[in-house]
Chain A
Amino acid sequence: DAGITQSPRYKITETGRQVTLMCHQTWSHSYMFWYRQDLGHGLRLIYYSAAADITDKGEVPDGYVVSRSKTENFPLTLESATRSQTSVYFCASRGDWHEQYFGPGTRLTVT
């Protein structure tokens, strides 16, 4: 589990501000994912990336932007934060046999 980290762990921001959540993995996994977790909705995929410079939308991509310039990093940006984006955000990477490993999560509050 120490192979995938997220920062910050907690963030409070105001509506309309831009905020970037960081994700870093040390396994050199090709695939990386961003999920949000809200009460009553389980885990929902925001974006995923199959490799550096390859990204694709998940179930709930609106309001989010991702990039993947290096294999080990997969930042998630909220360009103009809204209260509905208050959530816990999990980054994950995928091993050779489809198993996904989750980061510790970032608890984001938008006021």
Chain B
Amino acid sequence: GENVEQHPSTLSVQEGDSAVIKCTYSDSASNYFPWYKQELGKRPQLIIDIRSNVGEKKDQRIAVTLNKTAKHFSLHITETQPEDSAVYFCAALMNAGNMLTFGGGTRLMVKP
């Protein structure tokens, strides 16, 4: 079945620095890769996603890149702010299936 590995599990950065979270997936047929942000005690919320027909997507300070050959994708957050502190989850959708498989999560801490 589909497996998604996410690294690092925790990440601490200084406010204003960039943060990068990486995920690898096992099923080469996966074609949809969302990222979710979960603040403490809240629900996961979709912040950006990418499909297999593009290599990069940006939305203000966040961007996602996809390398289909290497089967990995990354979340980039620039000019980090304290409100970016949260747990971030990557996920991959199997082409033949209907389920998202989630990575284990990254706890991002932005120090003011």
Q: A residues engaging B (CB < 8 A)?
A: 1, 31, 33, 40-45, 48, 50, 58, 90, 98-105
Fill in one digit per residue for B77-112: 1 if any A CB lies within 8 Å of its CB, else 0.
000000000000100010000111111110000000
Interface residues on B, range: 10 to 19
Tell me if A48 and B105 are in contact (CB < 8 A): no
Give CA–CA (A58, B89) in the complex, Å.
18
Q: Which of A1, A50, A90, A105 contacts B98 (CB 8 A)?
A: A50
> Measured between C-beta atoms, what is the minimum distance from B91 to chain A in Å?
8
List B49-69 residues whose CB lies under 8 Å from chain A: 49
Give CA–CA (A105, B52) in the complex, Å.
30
Q: Which of B36, B42, B99, B105 contacts A58 (CB 8 A)?
A: B99
Fill in one digit per residue for B18-53: 1 if any A CB lies within 8 Å of its CB, else 0.
000000000000001010100000111110010000
Tell me if B's interface is mostly helix, strand, loop or mixed.
Answer: strand
12 A-B pairs whose Cβ atoms sit less than 8 Å apart in the complex? A1-B43, A42-B102, A42-B104, A43-B89, A45-B100, A90-B44, A98-B34, A98-B93, A100-B46, A102-B36, A104-B42, A105-B43
> Measured between C-beta atoms, what is the minimum distance from A47 to chain B in Å?
10
Give CA–CA (A41, B45) in the complex, Å.
18
Give CA–CA (A85, B101) in the complex, Å.
20
Q: List chain A residues, Cβ under 8 A from B32.
A: 98
Residue of A nearest to B99 (CB): A45
Tell me if B49 and A103 are in contact (CB < 8 A): no
Tell me if A104 and B43 are in contact (CB < 8 A): yes
Residue of A nearest to B44 (CB): A102
Q: List chain B residues, Cβ under 8 A from A102.
A: 36, 43-45
Give CA–CA (A104, B43) in the complex, Å.
5
> Measured between C-beta atoms, what is the minimum distance from A108 to chain B in Å?
15
